[in-house]
Structure 1
């Protein structure tokens, strides 16, 4: 190939910007959730919090550039990408479609992307409700049924790495049932009333305005909600 040094430089520049682009998406997703949950505390120090998360991510990633980095990378990739990510993606689709309500979600999309094509929203609706859950559930079942211990080339990982890998995978999925059980136990009333209370979305607006939701707005297929949904008085940044 002519001018090999130029193409080599362009390749590594491409890899650098690809990493920056991926980091933007991951860091922004994580920090947005933190700032929405704690707007009055962490929201005041957005730059410092984001810098701290970036530095922590950088330091934790140094293990992958050591002499045994490829073995660690293979271990993380084996247990995190195959099982945990598919389970989280499946649960996200189910929660958005059947608990939060797909129609409410589409209205949120319309609010953010005005104007938006209705055909696009229809395709998105059936993908989130039907296609993606079926594909993710099938892939998850196939992955569990054909699971084998990790290996890298001819190297077979020792037994303790399997325990570490499963603990690593559960670190992403175990908080989900823990939070569910905690919220149900913290609520009041019968079990069904607690379940309804925990899956009821809380609409927060600046100034703590109470939003009146109609029956068709409360798209809880599993657990229909009352007409009025209380709103916290804490202000959040839009």
Structure 2
């Protein structure tokens, strides 16, 4: 498996409302590398900066200082269009809330990132979407409305959707936060499986010590800094 650095953060800082009396620095000089094939947990108390850091990693927000590289490409100088393209091609997201579109069926929800990029998916992409649904145990429900699924099933669809672009980096923000213990365990097992199979760098924000203990690497945050 490649040992390629997928994500690199150099001296990353984030200040909200800079140059105002309300300026608030929430991240301080973050240095971090995530490599292909790594499965990493990001832990820390509420307010420690985990979600802000995840938003920067996913190019959903821009740092106040420092540099963020995706597969060696610096992102600081990119405009919104190029950042969006980089995000669409290299990054998959799974959130605590699945954000599926109830008006669409399960398969169309999985294909949504591709449809937004290019319109109609090609045959190979369609086959891969079916493969992902089979892998998450939902092959039989491809044509079912997304809103007819249980919470655990919806989160499985969200994982398949995050992987349909074959991302180099998979970011998950409390992906089991709304699930019961058994379903959370099953969903986490899927992350382990896909991390192994695809070799994508996987970062999971979790409050669950049982889940973070299953990750080979854990990054701990406190007050906007990486402490271990």
What's the TM-score bracket when you normalise by the shorter of the two chains? Answer: under 0.3
Q: Which of structures 1 and 2 has the larger relative contact order (alpha carbons within 8 angstroms, sep 6+)?
A: 2
The normalised TM-score by structure 2 is 0.23
Structure having the higher strand fraction is 2
- The structure whose residues are more often helix, as a share, is 1
